[in-house]
Structure 1
Amino acid sequence: MDSAPFVGSEAMANGLVTRQDLRHRFRRIYRDVYIDPGCELDAPTKARAAWLFSRGKGVVSGVSAAAIHGSGWISADHDAELIWAEHRRKFDGLRIGFDELRPEEIETVDGLVVTTAARTAYDLGRRRPFGTAVARLDALCRATGVGISNITRIAEGHGGARGIVQLREVLDVVDAGAESPQETRTRLALMAAGLPRPQTQIEVMGPDGRVFARIDIGWARWKVAVEYDGEQHWSDERQRAWDIERQHLLEALGWTVIRVSALQLRTDPWGVAARVRDKLRAAGAKV
């Protein structure tokens, strides 16, 4: 069971720790899986703990597999996920599924047996709510480079599975260019308002021919940019100064920049879309 930074019964059997050590010096994650309290329990670490708890019989899946594949924005507060056909009990902090897995849908990453990126996307894309599913697939596709065709191939092998209709809708709007869930939600809000599908990570060159900016979301044809302002844009003085200079340079090149905050996106997405629509019309777009 031992795999640094974890300890369990094997370490105790080998005389490396005592039962009292486990209770008082380590943090219990799952039964017989303990971790040094000084170690960060992030999503990948929690996934490994769950797999060790299964003694290697489970397959890391869902958000846990996405974390192992390098996908960002997954909180350790999420239950770890396994597909473990032999086990039907429920455990706190652990979500166990019993879905069918084919040999080509499983791989080994850093010693853990996990669902492939394509199978992971297939699983996550079928879960509601829709916006969360898109954000998770945006992040997974960005981290792994898995293609839509690979995910579709998995879906075709599981015809009639629950959530397939939503998965198709999710795959229609997935964009690996999104760098955060909030960027995904901004893009979806604009599309839900009937605006043309925007591009992501648009490179803009300065007069010297060098790329000086990448626009989060926008339409290069009409030079309209939508930028989501995360917390770092306000809390980091240098970042804020560069944001101001960057916007000045973009406007000098004919770009219109609409900035969006989390509060605006959460409370008035239609107002955000209306402002963007007005700027697109002013630039000549027929929207």
Structure 2
Amino acid sequence: MPAIGTLSCMRTRPPVLDSRQPFRRAEALATGITIRELTGPKFQKVLHGVYVAAGVQLTDLVRARAALHISPDGSYASHHTAARIWGGTAPNDARTHVSVPDPGSRSERQGIASHRATVDADVRSWRSTPVSSPPQCFCEIASLGAGLVELVVLGDSLVRAGVVTPTELIAAADAWTHRGSAVASRAARLVREGVDSPMETRLRLLIVLAGLPEPVVNFVIRHENGDWRLRFDLCYPELKLLIEYDGDQHVFDSMQRARDLERREELQRIGWRIVTIQKQHYYAQPARVLERIRQARLDCGASASSCRVRTTWMNHHT
């Protein structure tokens, strides 16, 4: 039988704290960490009353774990936070989003957006953390009033991350019975595979929502033997017309600009036309962008009826 002194030591031994994972202040104090140590350089605050070791990067996953650590059992990371965890480009929202089974126990702490969990939620485990599935968070964000373009940007990015397919998004959106179901269904049908950036999505939607034919995404021009030659953002193959979005690297990187010039010379030599759009064109002169594309289509032999531009794009352009 152990000595009384041994039993006393066993009872008073402080619990082990893994400071690489979020922990409450009370949990830190129970291990012998003082308030002064907790607020010093060894630790960092994630949320009010929740900390983690100073060397841990405050990713969306870490923030989600912090929020879930103070949420009731059955809660999960959702909405914008889940989308970012899956590698998606969500609408701007710096809060950590969680969904909880009991609306009466939702956290009111600053930095947390707490939602009522849906009964039929599709929740998956990501690195041992419960997270809304990619189709679920797509629909959740739609329920908060996200616009059509924002949702398609999100859908394209989730597909690019390899965590969902357009078909799966359509099925989830069509089955969604909560707020935002109509825009989710429409957006899901505009999601495409192979989109490289949010600005490519926005440019494609500007074209489509203006009533012009939808261009092919990431079209590859090949050599005569079938080998890969050049790839472009958007294309009308039948017209040999390319629509290219040039990001900042094409403007500020001298080596990239030199490669672009050589590529365009090669395109001209083999009979292709290219329309280049930059960020300032898209945001400051969207009507001019559409006019340039319309005129280029006409120049390349498209029928006048397929080059009519509607004003419906104005309802969605941001």
Report the TM-score, using the length of structure 2 for normalisation.
0.79
Aligned residue in 2 for 1:24: 40
Q: In the alignment, which residue of structure 1 is the partner of 2:20?
A: 4
SS in 2 for 1:35: strand
- Alpha-carbon spacing, 1:223–1:11, altered in 2? closer, same or farther (3 Å): farther
Normalised to the residue count of structure 1, the TM-score between the two structures is 0.87
- Alignment match of 2:247 (pick from 230, 246, 251): 230
Compute the RMSD of aligned alpha carbons.
2.5
Equivalent residue, structure 2, for 1:137: 155
Partner of 1:194: 211
Identify which of 257, 262, 266 aligns with 2:283.
266
Output one character per residue of 1:70-94: Cα deviation in whole Å (capped at 9) or x when no partner: 225777x621111113323422211
Number of aligned residue pairs: 283
Q: Any stretches of 5+ residues in structure 2 without a counterpart?
A: 1-16, 308-318
Equivalence map 1:1-287=2 (5 Å): 2=18, 4=20, 6-9=22-25, 10-15=27-32, 17-25=33-41, 26-54=43-71, 57-72=74-89, 78-86=94-102, 87-102=105-120, 105-126=122-143, 127-159=145-177, 161-206=178-223, 209-286=226-303, 287=307
Give the number of the structure whose alpha-carbon radius of gyration is greater: 2
Tell me the CA shift for residue 207 of structure 1.
5.3
Q: Shift of the alpha carbon at 1:150?
A: 2.5
> Closer, same or farther in 2 for the Cα pair 1:52/1:235, shift >3 Å?
farther
**Structure 1 stretches of 5 or more lacking a match?**
none
Shift of 1:4: 1.9
Amino acid at match of 2:150: T
Q: Is the 8 A contact 2:166 2:193 kept in 1?
A: no
- Give the Å deviation of 1:186: 0.7
Q: Deviations over 1:44-77 (max 9, x none)?
A: 43333323343764211112111221225777x6
Cα distance, 1:30 vs. partner? 1.1
Q: Does the 8 Å CA contact 1:2/1:11 hold for their aligned counterparts?
A: no
| Residues in 2 aligned to 1:65 and 1:267: alpha-carbon distance in whole angstroms | 32
Between the aligned partners of 2:188 and 2:176, the Cα distance in structure 1 is 16
Aligned-pair CA distance for 1:275: 0.5
Q: Give the share of equivalent positions with the same residue, in percent.
A: 27
